[in-house]
Amino acid sequence: MFTKILIANRGEIACRVIVTARKMGIKTVAVYSDADKDARHVMLADEAVNIGPAPSRDSYLQGDKIIAACKKTGAQALHPGYGFLSENAAFAKKVEEEGIVFIGPKHYSMAAMGDKIESKKLAGAAGVNCIPGVNSAIETAENAVEIAQEIGYPVMIKASAGGGGKGLRVAYNDKEAFEGYTSCRNEARNSFGDDRVFVEKYVEEPRHIEIQLIGDSLGNVVYLNERECSLQRRHQKVLEEAPSSFISEATRKAMGEQAVALAKAVNYQSAGTVEFVVGKDQSFYFLEMNTRLQVEHPVTECITGLDLVELMIRVAAGEKLPLTQAEVKRDGWAIECRINAEDPFRSFLPSTGRLVRFQPPEQTMFAADTDHWYGVRVDTGVQDGGEIPMFYDSMIGKLIVHGKDRLDAIAKMREALNGFVIRGISSNIPFQAALLAHPKFVSGDFNTGFIAENYSGGFRAEDVPHEDPDLLIALAAYVNRKYLNRASNITGQMEGHELEVGVEFVVVTLGQLGRCTPTPVAVTGFDDQTGCSAIMVGTRSFQICSDFRLGEVRISGNCNGRAFTAQVERGSLAGKNPLAIRVSHNGTQIDALVLSKRAAELYTLMPYKAPPDMSRYVLSPMPGLLVDVAVVPGQKVQAGERVAVIEAMKMENVLFATADGVVAKVLAARGESLSVDQAIVEFV
C-alpha cells in the first residue's frame, strides 16, 4: 500500500480523497493555484505545493507541474479526482512512465473509453446499441450544420473530451447548430485542452441512467447498481438518486452486464461509469463511459455500503476486489443535491465572492465512513469565510441523504436543505427545494427534459408555493417577539416608561413594486425559559417552541407538535427593508415587517420609490471576466444581436441586445473583471 499520494485536483473532490487516505493511514499532498492558497483542501492535506496562477490552464491543467510536485514530495501515487486532467490519457501515461501510480484506469483503457468518439466505435463493435450520429471530429461549423440536417433535428453537439455539461449544446435548427458548434469548441478548449466536437441525434424525452462499476488488475469487474441522473439543467446534473425508480430488475441486470462486458473488453481497472440514455419503454443506448470517479458517487456509496475512493486506491495498489457481483448490496434510497454558487432567480448565473456564512445542516453520515448510514452527509471544499473564485466550477458542495425508501429520502433532503445556511453569495438551494416538492418528481414521473419543460420561463419565487404560508407569518411574529422580549428586559429604562410588549400585531409581507399584504396576528404566552409561544394567525393557532437565539440564522423546533427547520434573519441581509424579518422554509421566502396596528396603517401610506430605469444599459448579470465586446460607439444594434461575452466558472455567457438601438458608450474594456450589474454598454 502507498504511504503518500498526491491529489491532482481542488475543492470538494480533493477533500473527499484526503479523508479516505487519512482513514487508510496514507499521507496526502495537495496542489493549489494562487487563487486557492487558503482553500480547505490545502489545509486538510499533510503537504501542499503551488502549481501556478489562478486560471486552470496555468495550474490544474499543467501536467508537468503536477508530476514535478509528485517527485518533489515523494508521492508514490496520484489521484486525479474528476474534471481537469482526470480523463486525459496522455497525462495518465506520462504519470505511469515517471514511475508514479495513477489511481484510475490504465491509459490505454482511458484512451479507448474516455474519448467519446472512440468509445462509441468500440461500443458499436461490441454489439452495444448506439445513438445515430457522426462519430468523427467535425472541422467547421458549416460542416456541423450539414451533418445535423442529414441526421435530422434536434441534434446534440458534444465535445469529445467534454463533461459536467461543458462543451455540450442541443440544436433545433441551423442557427443553433452553427453557434453551438463554436461555443462547444471554445468551452472544450478552455476546460479540457481538446476542441474536437462531434454530432449525434438527440433522443427526446430520455432518461439518463448510469451504471457504476469497479474493476481490478486481475480481470474482475462488478457493477454497483445504477444512478438516476435525469434531473439536468442545460445538460448538467442537478440532483441524482440511487437506485432508479424507473427501471425494472431485468433492465438493471441487462444494463449492468453490458457495462461490465464493455469494461472487460478494454481491460478496465478502477472505478468507472457507463452512461445510458433510456427510453420510456426501457430500451437503452450507450452514451459514453466516464473513466473516473463521478461527482454523484456518494449515492452509490450509501446504498452499497462501500467507500469507492478506498476501492480505487486498493485496486491501484494491485489488490483484488473484496466482493463479488452476488455480494453487491442495494440498501435503502439515496439522493444527492449539488449545491452550486449560482442565482436561480437570475437565470442561474454564476455567483462568486466570499462566503459570509457557511453552515451546513447537522451531519450524521460522513465521507469515507462506512459505519453510519440513513442520515445526512455534506461533501464540500469550502468553509465559513472562504472565497468562491470565478475561475473554477460553481459547485459549493454536495448534500447527500440516505433514507429507508424514496419518500423518506425526499423528506430528509427537504429538511436538510432548510437547514443549509449560505450567505454572501447566491445558491441554488431554493431551486432544489422546488424540485423536491414538485408532484411529478415525487411520483417519479420525469425525464431529462423535466426542468426545461417545467421552468421554461426561468425560475421565480412564485414557482415554490408553500404548503402553509401562515407558518411563515407565525415564524416572523415569533422571532419579532423574541427581539421585543430582549428589549423589554434591558436594564436602566426610565421608570414609568419601560417598554411594554403588547399582544396584537400586524405582519406586513413585502411584495414587488411596493405592494404589501397585512395579516393580523396575536402573540400570547411567550415563555423565554422554554422558548414557547402561542401565535394566532387569523383564526389559526400555532404553538411554536424553539431554543433559537437572536443573531442565529437557522431556527429549529416544534410547531404544533411537528419538528421544523427554517431560516430567519433581520437587518441588512434581509434584503428589501433593513427592518424586515426574512423567513425561508421549503424554498419559499418572505420579507415581513411585524408592526403595531397603528404603525401598519401608517406604513401603507408610505410612498413607493421606484428603482432607476436601467433599460438603456447592458449590465453584467454576474461577476466575471469580460472576454469580448462586439459593438463600438455609434453602431446600430438590433434586438437579439450579440453585444458582449462574459466568462465565469469555465462557462461562456453571451449577452444580447434586448431592443434596437444605437451604442452611445462602451463603459467596460475587454479583459476587465466585472461585478454584478456593472454597466458594459450604454445606448442612446
Q: In whole angstroms, what is the distance from residue 358 CA to residue 429 CA?
A: 13
CA end-to-end span of the chain = 69
In one-letter notation, the amino acid at residue 596 is S
Question: For residues 117 and 167, what is the distance between their CA atoms, to the nearest angstrom?
Answer: 14
Among candidate residues 561, 564, 568, the one with its CA nearest the CA of residue 592? 568
3-state secondary structure of 421: strand
CA atoms within 13 A on the CB side of 471: 20
For residue 267, the number of C-alpha atoms closer than 13 Å in the C-beta half-sphere is 7
- For the beta carbon of residue 394, count every other beta carbon within 10 angstroms: 24
Place of cell 420561463: 457
Neighbours of 453 (CB within 10 A): 11
- As a whole number of angstroms, the distance between CA 377 and CA 359 comes to 13
**Coil, strand or helix: which one is 546?**
strand
What 8-state DSSP symbol labels residue 538? T
Q: Which residues contact 405 (CB under 8 A, 6 or more apart)?
A: 332, 333
Return the closest-CA partner of residue 89 out of 236, 266, 226, 330: 266
User: Residue 472 has what DSSP assignment?
Assistant: H
Residues carrying an active site annotation = 288
Handedness of CA 102, 103, 104, 105 (dihedral sign): positive
Grid-cell match 458517487, residue found: 297
CB atoms within 10 A of CB 671: 9
Pairing type for strands 101-102 and 77-79 reads parallel
Query: Hey, is 257 helix, strand or coil?
Result: helix
Angular region, 354: left φ>0, alpha ψ -120 to 50, beta rest? beta
Cα 437 to its chain centre, rounded Å, is: 18
Q: Please, what is the angle between helix 11-23 and helix 308-316, to 10°?
A: 70
| 337-349: burial string, b at 16+ Cβ within 10 Å, e else | bbbbbbbbbbebb
For 295, the grid coordinates are: 461527482
The 3 state secondary structure assigned to 402-415 is EECCHHHHHHHHHH
Q: Would the CA dihedral through 15, 21, 24, 28 be positive or negative?
A: negative
